[in-house]
Structure 1
Amino acid sequence: MGKRNNKRRKEEISEDYCFFCKDGGELRVCDFRNCLKTYHANCVGQDDSFLKNDDYWCCGSHYCYICRRKPKFMCLCCPKAVCGNCYQGAVFANVKRNKGFCGHCSKLAFLIEENAEVDSDGEKIDMKDPDTFESYF
């Protein structure tokens, strides 16, 4: 099977929602080995030409968000990852083996656990409102 056929097959079995915002639409699959995560162009800071571009691209789950080295720990809920060297300085809660929550996602997890109605900034949150980021968490 050629490279083009492998890419087509990967697109057929990849996730059908953006791993960052959890919404559907026009998405691009991460090119890293067996990663099936997909993203909107604007969710990864790109313009629409990114969706048609054949250049190799891998999502943030495959490099440290601080130094861009190979990661040791990955967030379960978003494409943030951190290497062993940067782990001490990063806000990251390790849960199991190399998986855990980045600072942002751990705050959301605590809010869900507490069944909170406002976040630490006093902003109203609604986990059931599909128009909010936290509802997709």
Structure 2
Amino acid sequence: MNHSCNPNCETQKWTVNGDVRVGLFALCDIPAGMELTFNYNLDCLGNGRTECHCGADNCSGFLGVRPKTACATANEEKAKNAKLKQKKRKIKTEQKQMHEDNCFQCGDGGELVMCDKKDCPKAYHLLCLNLTQPPFGKWECPWHQCDICGSPASSFCEFCPHSYCRDHEKGALVTSALDGRPCCSEHNPKAPVAPEYWCKIKRRLEQQKPEEEAKE
């Protein structure tokens, strides 16, 4: 009979008429034709271990080594599944934030400072921000703070960095003729920006629309 770390039989010592006998007894109901196995329980001496090839789920790997417990087998299975999940998991690539190519204050191109606020594409010249050096660390552009009190803005001019909080937004913006976009008092509602600058803004908005629809 072959050895198994998960046998269907066990050995028992019996004394019969004064002689020691070894009996084999079933540990469970064994279907007809199934191989009978028992645990050899051999002692391992030094490094001379014999590999076990029984194929049981709780196989210890060597004869004479205690079979794995159900808990150890379950933990091994979990670790195996975790490795498989790691392999299957797709690596998400961060989408690079796109910024406008023209200053949001004056509309010209050149060397620009980019807003670091998520999903804000605005960029500015240092001179338009009254700065001599680029801002340090994570920087949010003036468009996100109320012009009057500096609180987080809720209403924005679509043509310059002017913006207002809930307490100061009343009457600060009017609807312009360009796609109904709000504009502040510094712009003429009938023609808030130069035609060439509006073409650049419109092209940028058209590029953003497919990205927003894809996110939804």
Q: How is 1:86-105 mapped onto 2 (pairs within 5 angstroms)?
A: 86-88=168-170, 91-93=172-174, 100-105=182-187
Name the structure 1 match of 2:107.
Answer: 22
Instruction: Give the alignment of 1:2-41 within 5 angstroms.
Output: 9-10=96-97, 13-41=98-126
CA deviations over 1:57-108 (Å, ceiling 9, x no partner): 21121111111111111001011110110123x632257xxx6111102x2x
Q: Give the alignment's Cα RMSD to 1 decimal.
A: 2.8
Deviation, 1:36, is 1.1
**Aligned residue identity for 1:39:** Y
> Mind listing any 5+ residue stretches in structure 2 that lack a counterpart?
1-93, 199-216
Q: Report the Cα distance in structure 1 between the residues aligned to 2:157 and 2:175, rounded to whole angstroms.
A: 9
Give every structure 1 segment of 4 or more consecutive aligned residues whose post-TM-superposition deviation is greater than 4 Å: none
TM-score scaled to structure 1, two decimals?
Answer: 0.62
SS in 2 for 1:87: coil
Contact 1:21 1:136 in 2 (8 A): no
For the residue of structure 1 that corresponds to 2:143, the secondary structure is helix
In 1: Cα distance, 2:119 partner to 2:142 partner: 14
Higher-helix-fraction structure: 1
1:9-88 to 2 correspondences below 5 Å: 9-10=96-97, 13-47=98-132, 49-50=133-134, 53-88=135-170
Instruction: Give me the identity figure in percent.
Output: 29
Deviations for 1:36-55, whole angstroms, at most 9, x for unmatched residues? 111000111111x21xx542
**Distance in 1 between the 2:107 and 2:147 partners?**
20
Query: Is residue 197 of structure 2 the alignment partner of residue 136 of structure 1?
Result: yes
On the 8 A contact 1:73/1:94 being kept in 2, the answer is no
The amino acid that maps onto 2:128 is C
Higher relative contact order by CA 8 Å / sep ≥ 6: 1 or 2? 1
CA distance in 2, matches of 1:56, 1:45: 18
Gaps of 5+ in 1: 1-5, 114-126, 129-134
Deviation at 1:136, TM superposition (A): 3.4
TM, length-normalised to structure 2: 0.41
